[in-house]
């Protein structure tokens, strides 16, 4: 299996990606997307599974020529609630929804890898394809696992790619060990006592208290945790008040906590509560705190990095794979990597000459489609090389 084999699929890969891009669907609504994937797999003579994970996920087993272990390849399929601002023929036709994180490319590349593997099955062992819904906050990976995506046969390792506009096309990056952050959410209701702006002494100003809470929470990062242990606390939404001359009785804060260390993650609810309780109590207010754990930190198994390195060098040449520090972004591939050895790498899709430079989740994000054959080839070769060494 060579890069030339994948290059022969370029027209199909671009067509698939553009068809998906024009018809984006939000988490657990990927009905057309799943039907499209199922149709393409059946055209290859493959037998996709019944619907999983709420009805839009599916798996597909490519059997090798002899029995052996099973390795999985995963693609996420959902889009984002973002209105696309690109003026391209394949732009989103769905108001307020767009593939601004590249999941359309992930799906197309896995279909490409399926084509390559169907044409040249592994000599030994099997490849399980996971087409997953709801990565964007819906924990689709966890539901895929609950529905048996890693069983029958049991999957022993899993790989995935994520497109990345910070890296030029033709290059990849990987972070061994903790690679993405645990992504948790917290909601705080600061409860004061409303009143007239002319008489603040007769009220407890929830806006003023909330401002102190926001500032004090940053002391968790700067003064109450090890500076060598990454942590980000962000209050991203503040909601409260009625008018300029009314003291607000309550203010709602919505935030996110990002961490790499599991022990620190377990401590965070108590650390936040101590700060919030102290500030609100000192200023005569009360509070309600809800803390919800989201995606865990993704841990790339270091033992799988050499498989990726050998694959990239064989397909693209030396110097095309770079090890990088962790990202504080979240990724639900973490649920797979908690269960079995896993590795997710970033595939470069940046092309400055063509203006393809906007970040993920930007309304003008787009990618260099020259990366699609590279991604399909890397995925197929990762599975093949892992099985050869297993």
Please identify every residue annotated as catalytic: 78, 135
Task: Tell me which DSSP letter residue 315 carries.
Answer: H
Query: In degrees, to the nearest 5, what angle opens at C-alpha 39 toward C-alphas 34 and 45?
Result: 130
In DSSP terms, which residues pair with 204 in a beta bridge?
193
Residue 386 tokens read as: 């892992």
**Contact between 34 and 23 (Cβ < 8 Å):** no
In DSSP terms, which residues pair with 72 in a beta bridge?
128, 158
Torsional sign, CA 330, 336, 341, 346 = negative
In DSSP terms, which residues pair with 259 in a beta bridge?
182, 231
**Contact between 34 and 107 (Cβ < 8 Å):** no
**Contact between 184 and 291 (Cβ < 8 Å):** yes
ω into 61 cis (within 30 of 0): no
Residue 304 tokens read as: 């799988």
Q: How many other CB atoms sit within 10 Å of the CB of residue 237?
A: 10
Unique residue bearing structure tokens 């279909």: 111
- For residue 195, with 0-12 CB atoms within 10 Å meaning exposed, 13-18 middle and 19 or more buried, which class applies? middle
Helix axes 10-22, 371-389, angle to 10 degrees: 110
Question: SS3 helix, strand, coil % of the chain, rounded to 5?
Answer: 35, 30, 35
**Contact between 64 and 122 (Cβ < 8 Å):** yes
Is residue 20 classed as helix, strand or coil in its secondary structure? helix
- For residue 213, with 0-12 CB atoms within 10 Å meaning exposed, 13-18 middle and 19 or more buried, which class applies? buried
**Contact between 257 and 231 (Cβ < 8 Å):** yes
Unique residue bearing structure tokens 């500032």: 215
């Amino acid at each position: 299996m060579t890069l030339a084999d994948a290059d022969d699929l370029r027209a199909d890969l671009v067509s698939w990606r553009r068809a998906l891009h024009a018809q984006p669907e939000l988490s657990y609504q990927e009905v057309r997307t799943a039907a499209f994937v199922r149709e393409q797999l059946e055209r290859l003579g493959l037998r996709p599974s019944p619907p999983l994970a709420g009805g839009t996920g599916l798996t597909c087993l490519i059997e090798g020529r002899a029995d052996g272990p099973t390795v999985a390849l995963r693609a996420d399929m959902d889009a984002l609630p973002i209105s696309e601002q690109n003026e391209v023929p394949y732009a989103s036709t769905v108001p307020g929804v767009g593939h601004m994180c590249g999941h359309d490319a992930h799906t197309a590349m896995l279909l490409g890898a399926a084509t390559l593997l169907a044409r040249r099955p592994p000599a030994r062992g099997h490849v399980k394809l996971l087409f997953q819904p709801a990565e964007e906050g819906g924990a689709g990976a966890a539901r895929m696992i609950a529905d048996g995506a890693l069983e029958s046969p049991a999957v022993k390792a899993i790989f995935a790619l994520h497109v990345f506009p910070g890296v030029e096309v033709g290059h990849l990056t990987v972070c061994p060990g903790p690679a993405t952050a645990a992504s948790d959410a917290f909601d705080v209701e600061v409860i004061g006592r409303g009143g007239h702006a002319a008489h603040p002494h007769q009220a407890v100003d929830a806006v003023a208290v909330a401002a102190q809470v926001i500032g004090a929470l940053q002391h968790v990062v700067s003064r109450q945790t090890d500076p060598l242990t990454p942590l980000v606390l962000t209050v991203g939404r503040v909601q409260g008040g009625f008018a300029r001359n009314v003291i607000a009785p309550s203010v709602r804060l919505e935030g996110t906590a990002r961490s790499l260390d599991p022990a620190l993650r377990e401590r965070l609810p108590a650390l936040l509560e101590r700060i919030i309780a102290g500030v609100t109590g000192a200023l005569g207010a009360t509070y309600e705190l809800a803390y919800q754990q989201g995606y865990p930190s993704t841990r790339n198994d270091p033992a799988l990095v050499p498989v990726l390195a050998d694959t990239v060098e064989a397909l693209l040449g030396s110097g095309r794979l770079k090890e990088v520090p962790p990202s504080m972004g979240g990724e639900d591939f973490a649920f797979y990597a908690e269960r079995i050895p896993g590795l997710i790498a970033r595939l470069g899709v940046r092309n400055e000459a063509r203006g393809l430079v906007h970040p993920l989740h930007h309304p003008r994000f787009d990618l260099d489609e020259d990366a699609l054959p590279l991604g399909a080839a890397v995925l197929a070769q990762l599975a093949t090389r892992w099985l050869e060494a297993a």
